[in-house]
Amino acid sequence: MKVQTKSKKVNKAWLNDHINDPYVKLAQREGYRSRAAYKLKEIDEELRLIKPGQVVVDLGAAPGAWSQYLRRKFAPKVAGVGGAAVGELDGRILALDLLPFEAIEGVHFIQGDFREQNVADQLAEALAGAAVDVVVSDMAPNLSGIESADAARIEHLIELAIEFCGQHLKPEGTLVCKVFHGSGYSQLVKLFQQHFHVVKPIKPKASRDRSAETFLVGRRLRLGGKLAP
């Protein structure tokens, strides 16, 4: 007699939820690589962050749904095979991830670990001195299940993203970061408040209810302890 393990039950339940997820179905219809596109879409529609002509950096970009959304914002009237925007791009998108990334026309992709200085240097070189309007980060570490260790890993990634913003973001620019409710969340909110004039937590409808995932949005950098002009 076969005994179904708990992990198999969990995997089957997740697969069933995934197949029936309305955002998964919508992503398939609209040509997005994952349902994650609708998280950024909701955030953008609420706060009106993404505008043609901007320079946007997409951290933790694979498989590319956020970059696809950005691409469509910069070429909204042109759609190619599978719904992918093509043609002239009114803006710049730089994407970075540890994982491989199927090319998206007009998106400059760098594969590497954002925690490594040489990768951050590559990103800075690709910017070629251009100031960034918006940084979006869907980065998340591999979680161990040990709450204190995971909180430290998440905080480190957020610190790196904020440090990057301090070097490259326009004073009036915006940072959007994925974070998780739980140990260390309040410290992350304080960290954002130390570096941005306006801080807003957002839980998009596209984020599953049972997920601890949420997003922090920081706007207008604080420079030297003072508000950006």
Binding site: what residues are annotated?
A: 64, 66, 97, 113, 138
Residues 6+ apart with CB under 8 A from 226: none
Residue 183 half-sphere exposure, CB side, CA atoms within 13 Å? 11
Out of 25, 178, 203, 205, pick the active-site residue.
178
The crossing angle, in degrees rounded to 10, of helices 22-30 and 6-20 is 50
Q: How far is CA 150 from CA 114, 156, 186, 188, 202, in A?
A: 17, 10, 15, 13, 21
User: Residues marked as binding for S-adenosyl-L-methionine?
Assistant: 64, 66, 97, 113, 138
Output the six-digit token pair for 122.
């590559």
Decide if 178 is catalytic. yes
Q: Which pairing describes strands 196-202 and 169-180: parallel, antiparallel, or unpaired?
A: unpaired
Catalytic residue positions, numbered: 178
